[in-house]
Amino acid sequence: MNPPATRKPAQVFCIANQKGGVGKTTTAINLAAALSTHGKRVLLIDLDPQGNATMGSGINKNTVEKNLYQVLIGTATITEARVRSEAGAYDVLPANRELSGAEIDLVQMEDREQQLKQAISLIIDEYDFILIDCPPTLSLLTLNGLASAHGVIIPMQCEYFALEGLSDLVNTVKRVHRNINPELHLIGLLRVMFDPRVTLQQQVSAQIETHFGDKVFKSIVPRNVRLAEAPSHGLPGIVYDKNSRGAKAYIEFGNELIKRIKQEAAQAGA
């Protein structure tokens, strides 16, 4: 492992999809844990007032001293608010219901969509990856996430309406890229909760490949009950049962992401 001084600042990725319950938080938690198994220094930012990424990382959202809300309104720094997920071996910037008030406070602030980016800039050198678990909305909170990120990872279920919702998100990413954050780009689409026995899912999966080509990750996360059980134990799925099919898929996804980033960096340098 290189000494920290020679490392580059973190890559910041949003895990986003405005559709609810599509596997964003499950992906964020398991990707954070998978990257940390590679010796990467990872911060998981919980940008959702539901606080599911916090709880699923084994941190009690109701007893944390500080949370993302204070960071966004400027009364705490990330250094003061972050906590360690011992379960996943990564840091967490926790969230809870308080964060829903941030929308109202932010509206009155200057640079209201840049607050998270400014907070991240102070600690970006301390990590290799910063993952942001977005809420199921295209709100000011999500905008703060997109304004802070280099890339977006979109988990999606292969269902009939999936592609329709996707175009809204892809258009939002393009708009943010144009107007707020020129660094932002789509990293890729991850098919999750996949059941190959369902013909419609196979068809939608093939459609996604046709539309998005190389932007579709080869790794596919199956529907797997062990992944759904893990959060109630405060553990990432890949720690809860590392031999489950779901865990293996997320470990594979972590490997694929690291490989893809290396390739992109090599192409950019060429």
Residue ranges that bind Mg ion, judged by CB under 5 A: 24-25, 52
Closer residue to ligand ATP (CB): 4 or 21: 21
Measured distance CA(70)–CA(42) in Å, rounded: 21
Closer residue to ligand ATP (CB): 23 or 58: 23
Of residues 181 through 200, those in contact with ligand ATP by CB under 6 A are 192-193
- Pick from 120, 138, 37, 127: nearest CA to 91: 127
Closer residue to ligand ATP (CB): 118 or 137: 137
Measured distance CA(105)–CA(38) in Å, rounded: 38
Among 10, 12, 16, 24, binds ligand ATP (CB under 6 A): 24
Measured distance CA(153)–CA(17) in Å, rounded: 9
Amino acid at 30: N
| 227 interacts with, out of ligand ATP, Mg ion, none, CB within 5 to 8 A per kind | ligand ATP
Among 228, 262, 263, 264, binds ligand ATP (CB under 6 A): 228
Tokens 């988990």 — which residue? Answer: 155
Instruction: Give least dist CB 266 to ligand ATP, A.
Output: 31
Cα separations (Å) of 141 from 48, 106, 203, 236?
8, 9, 34, 24
| 22 interacts with, out of ligand ATP, Mg ion, none, CB within 5 to 8 A per kind | ligand ATP
Angle ∠(133,135,140) on CA atoms, nearest 5: 110
Instruction: Give least dist CB 2 to Mg ion, A.
Output: 33
Q: Which residue ranges make up the site for ligand ATP (CB under 6 A)? A: 20-26, 48, 50, 52, 136, 192-193, 221, 223-224, 227-228, 231, 246
